[in-house]
Amino acid sequence: LMWGGKKTKQNKKKQYKCYLFFFSSLALCVEAPLSRTGDHKESSPSQFHIPEQFSADLPGCLAIITGDVEGTKAEVEELLASRSKKTTLSEDFYINATKDCAAYIENRGFVTVPLSEEELNFPIAYSMVIHEKIEMFERLLRSIYAPQNIYCVHIDQKSSPSFHRAVKEVVSCFPNVFVASKLESVVYASWSRVQADLNCMKDLLHSEVRWKYLLNTCGTDFPIKTNREMVMALKVLNGRNSMETEVTSVSKKGRWQYHHNVTNGVIRTDVRKSPPPISSPMFSGNAYFVVSRAFVKYVMQNREVQKFMEWEKDTYSPDEHMWATLQRMSSVPGSVPPNGKYDTSDMLALARVVKWSYLTGDVKKGAPYYPCTGTYRRAVCVYGAGDLLWLLRQQHLFANKFDPEVDDISIRCLESVLRFKASGHDPLRSLQYPNLL
């Protein structure tokens, strides 16, 4: 496959068939050096086109993560000096850079081959909902990109024309990345956030790629696992879904007991809603999910689920109770029973690790995690570099939130460490930190 030039959607579909055939033979060549991680000559990172910046950042990042700064003072100081990114790449940069797709893909350091046969045979689908910060979108896409996967990008209708154009130009360079066929004007805590994911679900089910699981992301997410690690975790699920789903607290029941009006925000009225049109109880969770293809197909086609979703449309933050409730309905593929014994907290689900300000404290005294080293936004930690050691110890696939203007080191170090791990060289294990990951 030649990477370059602009592609229409029709051309992208035609190329993808050849693309998968090409990689099915190439993956066997890639797998051999990866399986011999102890032989540096056989699996040199240079074979995997690791961006120069990732290599330059690695010594300082390892020092920050492990706390061992001996011999890396200069590298650490250089990283710390660029903690808050003052300037980010503009929409115009991406519009111009993607005029030559082959050069763009190479210069920006995207992975262009499946890194193992196991990954090739287990494609993952993504629903990526974004509304701003083009550079952060590109860095997220680059960090999770693999040619065998499939990516649906939902752009908020309200986003600027230049943002829309820049995203579409980036997307046009990849045969397995596309913009959702229907875009929503997303209002925080409203149904439109759910609809954005549903639009991508519909498109992804019509894709020629036979993906196994669907993961959803927003613009402030970042992975803490490589694609191969994700594949391994998803295989263990064996068709089950993984998301937060717990008994609804009294304080949250009003979110779905009363009718809400949506304008620029979501406003509760005094009008009580009818009971939910399902036989199982309501549950609470969050917007993030790890769901099987069978789950997605069922949700998009089942009449009871469709009726339930229609009922959800005038609730507050439906994404935080609809998915959690579907996961407890016995007829839904990959679900768990509604009994309280099957409650799954966000810390036990694979989907997302989040630090809430009101839960932080001394772990030795019972807190789930220590305070954030970055800052808080809507009570959620925007991670700092000091959170990396803790993050890399978690079982989750993704973490939220990240912002390069708050702490770019946390993102740069994840980029560096994950790319080296993906290439077959785990820099942390080589430094004899076996309990880190």
Pick the most confident of 6-15, 18-27, 193-202: 193-202
Per-residue model confidence as pLDDT tens digits over 13-39: 444 444 343 333 333 333 333 332 333
Return the ∠ at Cα 87 (arms to 84 and 89), rounded to 5°: 125
Please say if the pLDDT value at position 145 is more than 50.
yes
Provide mean pLDDT across the span 204-220: 99
Per-residue model confidence as pLDDT tens digits over 252-285: 999 999 999 999 999 999 999 999 999 999 999 9
- Residue of 109, 133, 53, 82 whose CA lies nearest to 408: 82
Mean model confidence pLDDT for the chain = 90
In the chain, % of residues over pLDDT 90:
81
Please say if the pLDDT value at position 195 is more than 60.
yes
Per-residue model confidence as pLDDT tens digits over 98-134: 999 999 999 999 999 999 999 999 999 999 999 999 9
In this prediction, residue 72 carries a pLDDT of: 87
Provide mean pLDDT across the span 75-86: 88
Per-residue model confidence as pLDDT tens digits over 376-397: 999 999 999 999 999 999 999 9
- Provide the residue type at 297 as one letter: K
Asked if 147 and 112 count as a contact pair (C-beta separation under 8 A), the reply is: yes
In this prediction, residue 425 carries a pLDDT of: 83
Catalytic residues: 320
Asked if 399 and 221 count as a contact pair (C-beta separation under 8 A), the reply is: yes
Per-residue model confidence as pLDDT tens digits over 230-260: 999 999 999 999 999 999 999 999 999 999 9
Domain ranges of the chain: 246-342
**Alpha carbon distance 202, 306 (integer Å):** 13
Q: Position of tokens 């959690």?
A: 324
In this prediction, residue 427 carries a pLDDT of: 85
In this prediction, residue 434 carries a pLDDT of: 44
Residue with the larger pLDDT of the pair 431 and 365: 365
Please say if the pLDDT value at position 360 is more than 60.
yes
Provide mean pLDDT across the span 322-333: 99
- Residue of 41, 23, 50, 16 whose CA lies nearest to 226: 50
The tokens describing 281, both together, are 């109880």
Confidence of residue 431 (pLDDT cuts 50, 70, 90): low
Q: Position of tokens 């770019």?
A: 408
Q: For 145-292, where are the alpha helices, taking DSSP H only? A: 161-171, 191-205, 227-237, 254-257
Query: Peptide bond preceding 401: is omega within 30 degrees of 0, i.e. cis?
Result: yes
Asked if 324 and 280 count as a contact pair (C-beta separation under 8 A), the reply is: no
In this prediction, residue 387 carries a pLDDT of: 98
Integer angstrom CA distances of residue 430 from 3, 62, 357, 400, 433: 34, 11, 34, 27, 7
Query: What is the pTM for the complete model shown?
Result: 0.89
